[in-house]
A and B are shown apart, each in its own frame.
Chain A
C-alpha cells in the first residue's frame, strides 16, 4: 500500500535563513502546493532526509511533527509519513492566511507612518503593477533573501 519514499528535493538549507526545521516545513509545503508531492505519497524517513539535508535527526523530526500538527501530513506507526489528502488545501489556506497577516502588518505600519487609506490603496495598486500578475510562488520564494 505504500510507495517507495519520494525523492524529495528541498535544496540546501542554510542556518542564516532562520530555523532549519522551519525551512524544511516551508520546503515541503512548497512541494505539496506545487503538486510535486501528492496526497498519499511517502516522505523520506527522518534518517534519510537528515542525511540528504545535512541536519540533525531532531531537526527533521521536529519539522515532521509540525507538518503533522498542521494537517499537511499524517504518519502511520512503522510505515512512515505521508502527505495528507487535503494537505494541499491546508497549505493553500495557510498561505492565504499568511498573506492576509502580512497585509495587516502593512496596514498597521502605514497607519503608524500617517499614510491615509487612499494613499495606501494607491501604494498597493503601484506595487501590484510593478510585479507580474501571474507571478510564480516558487520564484518569488527562491529569490527571497
Chain B
C-alpha cells in the first residue's frame, strides 16, 4: 500500500483549444483531507471527473488507491464514494426510493449509519426529491456517499447550497469518517474558511495550472503578508514578492518565504509598516491575482 491515495502523474486534459488542464502532478496522502481550491473554471471538476472515469487524461497517468484508473475502474469505484452537485435523484421520486435503489450496489452499505445521517441532515425518507431545495438534494447525495464504508471520498463542491449549520454538520461527519485509519477525502469547495480549519493539505489551481500545494499549516506559514509604504515609485523586482493591493502610497505585499530571504524587503523603494496575519483566503486571492498577471502598479513578480 503506497502512502498516496491518489496520484496524478503529469496529467494533461485538453478540450480542443478552449481549455486544457495540466500538466498536473499531485499526490494526495492517505489519511488526509485534501482540499482542491481554485476559481470557477480552474479545472477542479475536470480533475475529479477523471478520477471517477468521466474523461480520460490526454497525457499522463492517474492512480487511485494503488490502481490505474484505466484498468481498474470497477475496483476503484467499489472503494470510492463520490458526490457532485450534478447528481440528480428526482427520477426515483422519494428520498427513500433513491436510497433503496442505490444501497444495493454497495456491499459496504451501513443501514444504521444511513438512518443516522438522514436524521443529522434532516432529510426524510418520505420527502419527494423534486420538492427538495438545492441544498437538501446535496444533503441526499452526501447521505448516500457517507452511508458506505468507503476508503476514499471524492467530493466536488459538496458545500454548494448548504447553510452554515449544514456545512458544520458536513465537516463534523467528514472528521468522523476520518477516524477510520487510512481513509482519505479529496474535496473541492469555495468555502475557504472551512477548508482552512478542516483540511490537512491544499492545492491551489487556476486556469488549469497548479499554483501551489502543501500541508495547510505550512502553506499558511510559508507565505507572509506585509503592509508597506512606497518611498520611491520605481518598479519592484524581487522574485517571490508580489503586490496584492495598492492604495495611494500604501501597498500590501505577499512574500513567498521559500524564495525570499528574511531581509528581502529591506530595500530603498519601500518601508515595511507591519506584518498582517494571512488566512487561506488571503493567500488564495493573492496567488490568483498573481497568476492572472496582477492589476497593480508595479510589474507583477510571479511567485512560481
The chain A residues found within 8 Å of chain B, CB to CB, are 15, 20-21, 47-48, 50-51, 54-59, 62
Q: Does B190 contact A (CB under 8 A)?
A: no
Contact B198 A47 (CB under 8 A): no
CB pairs A–B below 8 angstroms (28 shown)? A15-B193, A15-B197, A20-B197, A47-B175, A47-B179, A48-B179, A50-B175, A51-B172, A51-B175, A51-B176, A51-B178, A54-B197, A55-B197, A55-B198, A56-B197, A56-B198, A56-B199, A56-B200, A56-B216, A57-B31, A57-B32, A57-B33, A57-B178, A57-B200, A58-B32, A58-B201, A58-B216, A59-B217
Which residues of A lie under 8 Å from residue B31 when comparing CB positions?
Answer: 57
B168 part of interface (Cβ distance < 8 Å)? yes
Enumerate B156-171 residues with CB–CB distance to A below 8 Å: 168, 171
Task: List B137-184 residues whose CB lies under 8 Å from chain A.
Answer: 168, 171-172, 175-176, 178-179
Known A15-B193, A15-B196, A47-B178; contact A54-B168, beta-carbon cutoff 8 A: yes
Query: Which of B31, B175, B200, B216 gathers most chain A CB within 10 Å?
Result: B175
Contact of B215 with A by CB under 8 A: yes
Instruction: List the A residue with the shortest CB-CB distance to B33.
Output: A56
List the interface of chain B (C-beta within 8 A of A). 31-33, 168, 171-172, 175-176, 178-179, 193, 196-201, 215-217
Q: Taking CB as reference atom, which chain A residue is nearest B215?
A: A58
18 more A-B residue pairs beyond the given contacts A15-B193, A58-B32, with a C-beta to C-beta distance below 8 A: A47-B175, A51-B176, A51-B178, A51-B179, A54-B171, A54-B172, A54-B175, A54-B197, A54-B198, A55-B197, A56-B198, A56-B200, A56-B216, A57-B178, A58-B201, A58-B217, A59-B197, A59-B217
Question: In the assembled complex, which residues on chain B have CB atoms less than 8 Å from the CB atom of A59?
Answer: 197, 217
CA distance A59 to B33 in the complex (A): 12
CB distance from A145 to the nearest CB of B (A): 16
Q: How far is the CA of A57 from the CA of B174 in the complex (A)?
A: 11
The 9 closest A-B pairs by CB, nearest first: A58-B200, A47-B179, A51-B175, A56-B200, A56-B198, A50-B175, A51-B176, A57-B200, A51-B179
A16 CB to nearest B CB, Å: 11
Query: Which residues of the partner chain A approach B199 to less than 8 Å between Cβ atoms?
Result: 56
CA distance A69 to B31 in the complex (A): 24
Complex Cα distance A55/B31, Å? 14
Question: Which of these, A15, A50, A54, A62, contacts B217 with CB under 8 Å?
Answer: A62
Q: Which residues of B contact A51 (CB under 8 A)?
A: 172, 175-176, 178-179
Q: How far is A15 from B193 in the complex, measured between Cα atoms in Å? A: 9
Kindly list chain B residues whose C-beta atoms are within 8 Å of the C-beta of A47: 175, 178-179
Smallest beta-carbon distance B253→chain A, Å: 22
Give the complex CA separation of A51 and B198 in angstroms. Answer: 10
Min CB gap B213→A, angstroms = 14
CB distance from A85 to the nearest CB of B (A): 29
Q: How far does the alpha carbon of A50 sit from the alpha carbon of B199 in the complex, in Å?
A: 11
| Chain B contacts for A15, CB-based, 8 A | 193, 196-197
CA distance A38 to B217 in the complex (A): 30
A62 neighbours in B (Cβ, 8 Å): 217
User: In the assembled complex, which residues on chain B have CB atoms less than 8 Å from the CB atom of A54?
Assistant: 168, 171-172, 175, 197-198
B258 to chain A, nearest CB (A): 19
